[in-house]
Amino acid sequence: MFDCPNCRESLGDGIDICPFCRHEITAEERLQIERQKREEEQNASVEESIRTGEFSSLRIIWQVIHIGTTILVFVIWTILLANNLRLHALLELIAGIVIIFGVNVYFLLVKKANSCPHCGKFLFRNWGTQCQWCGRNIR
């Protein structure tokens, strides 16, 4: 698939004459279109690698925050348990860890489910079929 150099309508690969404007596509134009496609693919792969690197660093930060918060809750409730020796404090510890873990997993899943598959940005209140950031189709 490529666009007609004259009218910019989308055409199939084996077409020599545009059915919309009757422009004859020359070999030079085909080479130029192929070059542009390769450049776009290279740019897309570079952007994808940058986005992947950003996502992995964000994931590491998220995991550190998750583990740190869980350890903090564990330490606080262990101190309470050691001072009071109550079963109630142990149950609060378990509930705190479960709540923190659940909230972190929920936000991770919501963030992943509401991200554009092309640019990776979060889609805020997007009920349409196109990404509000990059304009590409998401559904």
Per-residue confidence in pLDDT tens, the chain, 139 aa: 778 888 888 888 778 888 889 888 888 888 888 888 888 888 777 777 666 666 667 667 777 877 888 788 778 777 776 776 666 767 777 787 788 878 777 777 776 667 777 787 777 766 677 887 788 887 6
The pLDDT assigned to 103 comes to 79
Residues 115/138, Cβ–Cβ less than 8 Å = no
CA 43 to chain centre: 17
Residue 86 has a pLDDT of 67
Residue 8, phi-psi category: left (phi > 0), alpha (psi -120 to 50), beta (remainder):
left
Burial label, 11 (beta-carbon count in 10 A; 0-12, 13-18, 19+): buried
Question: pLDDT value at position 112?
Answer: 67
Q: What's the confidence (pLDDT) of residue 29?
A: 86
